[in-house]
């Protein structure tokens, strides 16, 4: 296929392809689109058609989407390399991660069979003779699901959200980040062309988000992924403050990996920790919301950990993602490179530089003017003295090694992230991780624990598994996504239906308990 950047990415709205009427040389444009018509078409035409199907039938549609994406996979890889600068293994995280997530929801959704309603718990009598009772039901919200997505996952970012929305029967309007809208737009185009969804179930708007939230009504939901600053702007919009639409936010995060005191150098878990830190720094050039930003080690193991991580980082071959010898491609843009170099400089005001691949690096097939940045490991021996390392997310191949005195201090330092997506724990003793896992659960959407017995089977600190919750409290945005069928909750409204026992019993027709 022709991999030159298209001159203008068309938008798919109200069941039609339309170009915005902005500057025609522009890569994307959403100017001049009839957003009212687009939202009305999705709500009034696509929504009822989707909800006329059962959960099982909608799950089949997800399986058909999987088949369509698989058929065009090679093109997606080419777009990812051209637009995001990723090597094939990193494109896989985004593209195959999306396909796996959709297939998982196709299977989970099939288990809901021919239901049209989800039940939340058993009938509870409200009268002594049980003649009057209550049952809680979940019904799909009759609005649209608007996704405003980040640049780093143009594929997975769409489908990890759309899987839950479409399974729930809620039409999707996606506004991808401008920098990487190409892959999202192409995937929507392929799925629309395959014709398996009712018209208007999936729309894409490439370009500015202006005016989108003005159309959001009380039964619509918005799912935002991006920076905490943009999230704060969005939350203040009347769509949420006045019309009380719901918003799910996945924002930035200072994720930690904690080496427990028993995991001394020379033990298998120490090596596992070192591998994981180096891998998390370099996968997708560190442009992953779940990447390890703070690697915490007992202060007595600080030097050994620094040397071992640096040794692995030195093997990273940075450069043009099309060159087969390259293991880490570029950042997504020169603007991101500037932001990452600024971030490193900020962290260096309080942290020492333990490894800087940029000092000696000759990028392969790329020069100093490219968007390449080599891995940088910073260090703060006395973690408690730091401020910036605990609150500055540098969205690139950068992490800080943080020393701690005892496990209580490690827990306190992890909490200084003010709420993160994930923390990982490494110990040679599975049960030694129980106390820190529970102590850190309130501040993290996911706790990932590793001992030697799961060295080969563990799914990775930064990999988001559709079976597990994704999101995090506080600074991470307070959102919840995925987690198996828990994902459906956001796209439903829960109501308590109370009445005569016969009515409450009748609610179970064409209904199934939402599995916990
Ligand atoms: P961003 O600048 O906040 O942009 C995110 C999205 O919001 C883009 O689609 C952007 O559109 C749009 N946007 C920007 N300003 C807006 C406004 N005033 N009103 C409405 N929409 C607006 O974030 P980013 O730089 O793309 O993404 C990087 C950040 O995302 C990192 O901090 C990372 O940690 C976070 N992230 C989190 C997760 C997670 O799951 N928790 C996943 C991935 C990334 P334009 O592109 O057109 O400006």
**What is the residue-averaged pLDDT of the chain?**
94
Give the active site residues.
250, 289
Looking only at Cα atoms, what is the longest distance across the chain? 80
So what's the pLDDT on residue 22? 42
DSSP string, 439-460: HHHTTEEEEEEE-GGGTTT---
Yes or no: say if 393 and 339 are a contact pair by the CB < 8 Å rule: no
Test site for ligand 1: of 101, 150, 216, 470, most ligand atoms within 8 A of the Cβ: 150
Mean pLDDT of 431-456: 98
Query: How far, in Å, is the centroid of ligand 1 from the Cα of 206?
Result: 14
Comparing 12-21, 36-45, 462-471, the range with the smallest average pLDDT is: 12-21
Question: Which residue is closest in CA terms to ligand 1's atom 14?
Answer: 230
Residue-wise pLDDT tens digits, 264-292: 999 999 999 999 999 999 999 999 999 99
Question: Which residue is closest in CA terms to ligand 1's atom 39?
Answer: 250
For the chain, domains (ranges, CATH) are: 15-251+479-513 (3.40.605.10), 256-469 (3.40.309.10)
**How far, in Å, CA of 473 to CA of 129, rounded?**
43
So what's the pLDDT on residue 25? 33
pLDDT band at 343 (very low <50, low <70, confident <90, very high): very high
**How far, in Å, CA of 510 to CA of 503, rounded?**
14
Query: How far, in Å, is the centroid of ligand 1 from the Cα of 393?
Result: 14
pLDDT band at 103 (very low <50, low <70, confident <90, very high): very high
Report which ligand 1 atom has the smallest distance to the Cα of 231.
3
Reply yes or no on whether the pLDDT at 23 is more than 60.
Answer: no
Yes or no: say if 422 and 444 are a contact pair by the CB < 8 Å rule: yes
Question: Which residue is closest in CA terms to ligand 1's atom 47?
Answer: 178
pLDDT band at 217 (very low <50, low <70, confident <90, very high): very high
Phi, psi of 287 (to 5 degrees): -90, 60
Query: How far, in Å, is the centroid of ligand 1 from the Cα of 228?
Result: 8
Report which ligand 1 atom has the smallest distance to the Cα of 229.
3
Query: How far, in Å, is the centroid of ligand 1 from the Cα of 226?
Result: 3
Residues with CB under 6 A from ligand 1: 148-153, 175, 177-179, 209, 225-227, 230, 233-234, 250-253, 289, 393, 395, 421
Question: Which residue is closest in CA terms to ligand 1's atom 43?
Answer: 289
Report which ligand 1 atom has the smallest distance to the Cα of 479.
41
pLDDT band at 27 (very low <50, low <70, confident <90, very high): low
Query: How far, in Å, is the centroid of ligand 1 from the Cα of 227?
Result: 5
Question: Which residue is closest in CA terms to ligand 1's atom 8?
Answer: 177
Report which ligand 1 atom has the smallest distance to the Cα of 471.
41
So what's the pLDDT on residue 11? 84
Query: How far, in Å, is the centroid of ligand 1 from the Cα of 290?
Result: 15
Report which ligand 1 atom has the smallest distance to the Cα of 212.
20
Report which ligand 1 atom has the smallest distance to the Cα of 470.
40
Residue-wise pLDDT tens digits, 48-97: 999 999 999 999 999 999 999 999 999 999 999 888 888 888 899 999 99
So what's the pLDDT on residue 21? 53
Test site for ligand 1: of 27, 149, 174, 177, most ligand atoms within 8 A of the Cβ: 177
Report which ligand 1 atom has the smallest distance to the Cα of 149.
9
**How far, in Å, CA of 442 to CA of 461, rounded?**
18
Question: Which residue is closest in CA terms to ligand 1's atom 10?
Answer: 177
Q: What is the 3-state composition of the chain as percent helix, strand, coil, each rounded to the nearest 5? A: 40, 20, 40
Question: Which residue is closest in CA terms to ligand 1's atom 35?
Answer: 226
Reply yes or no on whether the pLDDT at 414 is more than 90.
Answer: yes
Query: How far, in Å, is the centroid of ligand 1 from the Cα of 148?
Result: 7
List, as own/partner pairs, every contact residues 457-462 make where C-beta atoms lie below 8 angstroms and the sequence separation is at least 24, other chains included: 460/276, 460/279, 461/255, 461/257, 461/276, 461/280, 461/290, 461/292, 461/422, 461/424, 462/255, 462/280, 462/283, 462/288, 462/290, 462/291, 462/292, 462/422
DSSP string, 94-119: HHHHHHHHHHHHHHHHHTTTT-SEEE
Query: How far, in Å, is the centroid of ligand 1 from the Cα of 149?
Result: 6
CB burial class (10 A; 0-12, 13-18, 19+) of residue 57?
middle
Mean pLDDT of 308-323: 95
Reply yes or no on whether the pLDDT at 15 is more than 90.
Answer: no
Test site for ligand 1: of 20, 227, 421, most ligand atoms within 8 A of the Cβ: 227
**Which one has a higher pLDDT value, 472 or 368?**
472
Mean pLDDT of 465-481: 97
Mean pLDDT of 469-491: 97
**How far, in Å, CA of 483 to CA of 511, rounded?**
21
Yes or no: say if 436 and 258 are a contact pair by the CB < 8 Å rule: yes
Query: How far, in Å, is the centroid of ligand 1 from the Cα of 151?
Result: 7
């Amino acid at each position: 296929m022709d991999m030159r950047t298209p001159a203008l990415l068309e938008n798919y709205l109200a069941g039609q392809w339309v170009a915005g009427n902005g500057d025609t040389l522009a890569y994307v444009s959403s100017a001049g689109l009839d957003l009212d018509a687009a939202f009305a078409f999705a709500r009034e035409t696509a929504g009822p058609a989707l909800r006329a199907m059962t959960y099982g039938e909608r799950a089949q549609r997800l399986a058909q989407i999987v088949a369509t994406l698989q058929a065009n996979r090679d093109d997606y890889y080419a777009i990812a390399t051209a637009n995001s600068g990723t090597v094939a293994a990193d494109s896989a995280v985004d593209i195959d991660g999306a396909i796996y997530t959709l297939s998982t929801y196709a299977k989970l959704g099939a288990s809901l069979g021919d239901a049209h309603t989800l039940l939340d718990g058993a009938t509870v009598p409200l009268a002594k003779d049980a003649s009057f009772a209550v049952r809680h039901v979940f019904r799909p919200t009759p609005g649209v699901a608007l996704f405003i997505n980040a640049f780093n996952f143009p594929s997975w970012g769409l489908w990890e959200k759309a899987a839950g929305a479409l399974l729930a029967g809620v039409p999707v309007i996606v506004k991808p980040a401008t920098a990487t809208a190409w892959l999202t737009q192409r995937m929507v185009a392929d799925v629309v062309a395959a014709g398996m969804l009712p018209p208007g179930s999936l729309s894409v708007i490439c370009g500015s988000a202006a005016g989108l939230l003005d159309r959001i009504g009380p039964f619509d939901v918005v799912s935002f992924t991006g920076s905490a600053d943009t999230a704060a702007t969005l939350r203040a919009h009347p769509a949420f403050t006045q019309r009380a639409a719901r918003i799910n936010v996945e924002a930035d995060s200072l994720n930690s990996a904690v080496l427990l005191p028993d995991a001394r150098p020379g033990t298998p878990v120490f090596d596992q920790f070192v591998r994981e830190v180096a891998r998390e720094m370099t996968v997708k050039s560190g442009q992953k919301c779940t990447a390890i930003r703070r690697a915490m080690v007992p202060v007595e193991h600080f030097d050994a950990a620094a040397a071992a991580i640096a040794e692995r980082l030195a093997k990273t071959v940075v450069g043009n993602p099309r060159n087969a010898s390259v293991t880490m491609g570029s950042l997504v843009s020169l603007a991101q490179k500037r932001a990452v170099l600024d971030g490193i400089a900020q962290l260096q005001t309080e942290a020492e530089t333990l490894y800087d691949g940029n000092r000696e690096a000759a990028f392969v097939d790329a020069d100093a003017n490219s968007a390449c940045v080599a891995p940088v490991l910073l260090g703060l021996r006395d973690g408690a003295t730091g401020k910036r390392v605990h609150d500055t997310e540098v969205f690139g191949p950068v992490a800080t090694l943080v020393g701690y005195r005892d496990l209580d201090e490690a827990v306190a330092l992890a909490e200084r992230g003010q709420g993160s997506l994930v923390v990982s724990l490494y110990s040679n003793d599975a049960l030694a991780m129980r106390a820190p896992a529970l102590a850190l659960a309130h501040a993290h959407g996911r706790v990932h624990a590793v001992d030697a017995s799961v060295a080969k089977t563990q799914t990775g600190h930064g990999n988001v598994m559709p079976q597990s919750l994704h999101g995090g409290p506080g600074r991470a945005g307070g959102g919840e996504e995925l987690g198996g069928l828990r994902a459906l909750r956001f796209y439903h409204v829960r109501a308590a239906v109370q009445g005569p026992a016969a009515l409450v019993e009748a609610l179970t027709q064409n209904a199934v308990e939402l599995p916990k």
